[in-house]
């Protein structure tokens, strides 16, 4: 099969971890006889520095003509402490999501036996936790307008908007995933207070009967935040709106032991994007210490979701598990012995794949 990729390393540790994931992708492609072609493009702070735009038109054009996008991270501390900056790296990410129509962000949360002791929760609570968060990604408060300030600068406002169409398509996707898993959907909202949440719940109640073999559970977001900590094993597919999903998935990610392990897929209308859920970790940039595994696991999702190549995806996962079991890992998840560098972990994975 011909695989045409857009490679968007982004900022901070992005270039280092994406290089590892690309090397792993190359090794898998070679092993299974696929032809890989790829092109690099800019997004985030590095794109602002070079072109003035956080998601340049050339980057969008490349993404549109590619079969999949492998993305690192964006963000630079020089913008974080400057709330008045007019152009920000995050705008690049939001524009990419909107322009590519990436309405669903899929974040699988599963544990790794060898990392259970790293979880802030008791091992018996997290051992075997395996759920999937589906976050709506192109609606809600992130994109609702008006957004801004009053003329005197002392009042600010955001707008949360959802249409029936946006809610229906993400809920159907959640049921589709649940059908291939343990057949339970938890719809998370704040329908006791918020109008958009009441629309979500109404539509969910209309759709649920179309999936009689799937259990539907309704949960307020505050309660969901608590249950993720108290009883993570009770979830199978959790579906929610953009801002709630942003918050809950950061929470969910750490229960597995390391933010550096979790991949994500953003899918929708045009080309899908695969990226780690962590950020650009600027303190580690250029030091060759960042954990590349979340990006490598994102490459596994890319084989599965963008190309329907399941064996390729599972070989990557097998390689990652083997490196964890061998303790051949970066410092964030190293518990005994010498931690390895980002590139060393990458080389180990490539050798394993070449077998």
Annotation says 142 is catalytic: yes
Annotation says 218 is catalytic: no
Nearer to ligand IPM (CB atom), residue 28 or residue 248:
248
Q: 97: annotated binding-site residue?
A: yes
Annotation says 157 is catalytic: no
- The footprint of ligand IPM on residues 52-91 (CB under 6 A) is 90
Contacts of 81 (CB under 8 A, 6+ apart): none
Contacts of 283 (CB under 8 A, 6+ apart): none
CB of 60 to ligand IPM, least distance (A): 17
Does residue 246 touch ligand IPM according to CB under 6 A?
A: yes
CB of 133 to Mn ion, least distance (A): 11
- Return the residue of 5, 68, 69, 93 that touches ligand IPM, per CB under 6 A: 93
Token pair listed for 79: 């913008």
Q: In Å, how far from its chain's centre is CA 45?
A: 19
Q: 246: annotated binding-site residue?
A: yes
**Could you tell me the strand order of the sheet in which 272-276 lies?**
35-40, 2-10, 68-73, 272-276, 263-267, 104-110, 130-136, 237-240, 184-189, 215-220
Does residue 347 touch Mn ion according to CB under 5 A?
A: no
Annotation says 222 is catalytic: yes
Element containing residue 173 per DSSP (H, E): helix 164-179
Instruction: Determine the length of the chain.
Output: 355
Nearer to ligand IPM (CB atom), residue 93 or residue 167:
93
Measured in degrees and rounded to the nearest 5, phi and psi for residue 225 equal: -60, -40
Distance CA 266, CA 178 (A): 17
Q: 250: annotated binding-site residue?
A: yes
Annotated catalytic residue, options 142, 162, 211, 281: 142
Measured in degrees and rounded to the nearest 5, phi and psi for residue 21 equal: -65, -35
Residues that bind ligand IPM (CB under 6 A): 90, 93, 246
Instruction: Please state the residue numbers annotated as binding site for Mg(2+).
Output: 222, 246, 250
Which residues have a catalytic role annotated? 142, 190, 222, 246, 250
Instruction: Please state the residue numbers annotated as binding site.
Output: 97, 107, 135, 222, 246, 250
Residues that bind Mn ion (CB under 5 A): 246
């Amino acid at each position: 099969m011909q695989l045409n990729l857009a490679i968007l390393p982004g900022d901070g540790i992005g270039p280092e971890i994406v290089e590892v994931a690309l090397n792993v992708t190359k090794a898998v492609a070679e092993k299974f006889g696929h032809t890989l072609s790829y092109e690099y493009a800019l997004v985030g702070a590095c794109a602002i520095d070079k072109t003035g735009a956080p998601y340049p038109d050339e980057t969008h054009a490349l993404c549109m003509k590619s079969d999949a996008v492998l993305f690192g991270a964006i963000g630079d501390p020089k913008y974080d402490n400057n709330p008045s900056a007019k152009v920000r790296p995050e705008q690049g990410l939001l524009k990419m999501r909107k322009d590519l129509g990436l309405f669903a962000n899929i974040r699988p949360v599963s544990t790794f036996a060898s990392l259970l002791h790293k979880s802030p929760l008791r091992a018996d609570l997290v051992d075997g936790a395996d759920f999937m968060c589906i976050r709506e990604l192109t609606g809600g408060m992130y994109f609702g307008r008006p957004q801004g300030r009053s003329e005197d600068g002392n009042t600010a406002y955001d707008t949360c908007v959802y249409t029936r169409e946006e809610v229906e398509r993400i809920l159907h996707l959640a049921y589709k995933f649940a059908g291939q898993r343990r057949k339970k959907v938890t719809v998370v909202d704040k329908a006791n207070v918020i109008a958009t949440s009441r629309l979500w719940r109404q539509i969910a109640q209309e759709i649920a009967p179309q999936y009689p073999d799937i259990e539907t559970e309704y949960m307020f977001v505050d309660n969901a935040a608590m249950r993720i900590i108290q009883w993570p094993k009770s979830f199978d597919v959790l579906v929610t709106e953009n801002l709630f999903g942003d918050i809950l998935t950061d929470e969910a990610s750490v229960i597995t032991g390391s933010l550096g392990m979790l991949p994500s897929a953003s899918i929708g209308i045009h080309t899908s994007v695969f990226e780690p859920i962590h950020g650009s970790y600027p303190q580690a940039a250029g030091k060759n210490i960042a954990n590349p595994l979340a990006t490598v696991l994102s490459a596994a999702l890319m084989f599965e979701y963008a190309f329907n190549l399941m064996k390729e995806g599972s070989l990557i996962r097998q390689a990652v598990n083997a490196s964890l079991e061998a303790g051949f890992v970066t410092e964030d998840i190293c518990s005994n012995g010498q931690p390895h560098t980002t590139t060393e972990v990458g080389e180990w994975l490539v050798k394993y794949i070449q077998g």
